[in-house]
A and B are shown apart, each in its own frame.
Chain A
Amino acid sequence: MDFAKKIIDSTEEIFSTMIFIDISAEEGLFEGKQILDCHVSSMIGLSGDISAMLAIHCPGNIGLEIAGAMLGMELEEVDADVKDALGEIANMLAGGLKEKFAQENIHLELAIPTTVSGKGYSISSPTRSNRVIIPFNLKQGQFFVEMKYSLNT
């Protein structure tokens, strides 16, 4: 199923066609201590053959950079525009994954995205679930795309 490759491909497609920022993927992680430095996260639930939660986690300045590039405007703080833009990116990422899994006859459905922001939060998933985290580099720093999942047999 190669989750990491699908996450990387979907993320790169969206950044090159919708956001116009060059990014490069790093080796996938299986736990996410770096994510603790992130101050804005958008996530979206997926169901179907895989039950999952997909998230993009950004430090505040990277969230502003990405949302600003997507919306074509200068952004100063993590406001409603930034949260909506990142939520939309989570939605597009999940859509990309859905399409890629469909080619392998794995059926997925999307819920709606939500954005978590703030100075002090962590996000956890059920202890028995699987987890893949891909760090992406851009000029100003890093962001992370995470998928937590379990297979529905």
Chain B
Amino acid sequence: MEYAQHLITATQEIFSSMIMLDVAAGEPFKRSKETLKNSVSGIIGLTGTSKALLSIHLPNTMAIDVTTAFLGMEVQEVDEDVRDAIGELANMLGGNLKTALDPAGSNVQLSMPSVVYGEEYAIDSLADAITVTVPFDLDGKTFLVELQLRKES
């Protein structure tokens, strides 16, 4: 559960320092195969001694609220601003997690972030990855932060 703790620390730090929102972490779990509905997911790869994929999944309404708080401007729908903001959020979470996984700072790198969004989709990793998902509560709504990790053999 060391990874869950890293995810919680990274998410709370980024939300409180960059978005000025306090988020409460719930119990980490292993997400099953259910699809994400009307959501926005920011995804970023980590490479090097820790090969991983970090993602944040937000329902559309939360993605809009978080973007509004993050950019300090009103947004109404999942547009380019929201997609860029959620991609940037994944990037910042990746940067924070990288520091936790690799304190020396040269052995883990980040890929470019990507954003998946739509009415209904599933995001799966290869079968041999360790997956940890942490739910976070913000104003009674839940978003997920997830790490899929393959240790260098």
Q: Which residues of A contact B (CB under 8 A)?
A: 43-48, 51-53, 55, 80, 83-84, 87-88, 91, 109-127, 129, 148-150
B114, A43: Cβ atoms closer than 8 Å? yes
B119 in contact (CB, < 8 A) = yes
- With beta carbons under 8 angstroms apart, the residue of A46, A52, A122, A129 that contacts B117 is A122
B48-83 contacts to A, CB under 8 A, are 48, 51-53, 55, 80, 83
Q: Which residues of B contact A (CB under 8 A)?
A: 35, 43-48, 51-53, 55, 80, 83-84, 87-88, 109-127, 129, 148-150
Residue of B nearest to A148 (CB): B112
Nearest-Cβ distance from residue B142 to partner chain A, whole angstroms: 20
Residues in B with CB closer than 8 Å to A111 are 45-47, 51-53, 111
B118, A120: Cβ atoms closer than 8 Å? yes
Q: Is the interface of A mostly helix, strand, loop or mixed?
A: strand
B113, A117: Cβ atoms closer than 8 Å? no
Beyond A124-B83, A127-B80, A127-B84, is A47–B109 a contact (Cβ under 8 Å)? yes
Residues in A with CB closer than 8 Å to B118 are 118, 120-122
Residue of B nearest to A87 (CB): B126
Beyond A47-B47, A120-B119, is A114–B53 a contact (Cβ under 8 Å)? yes
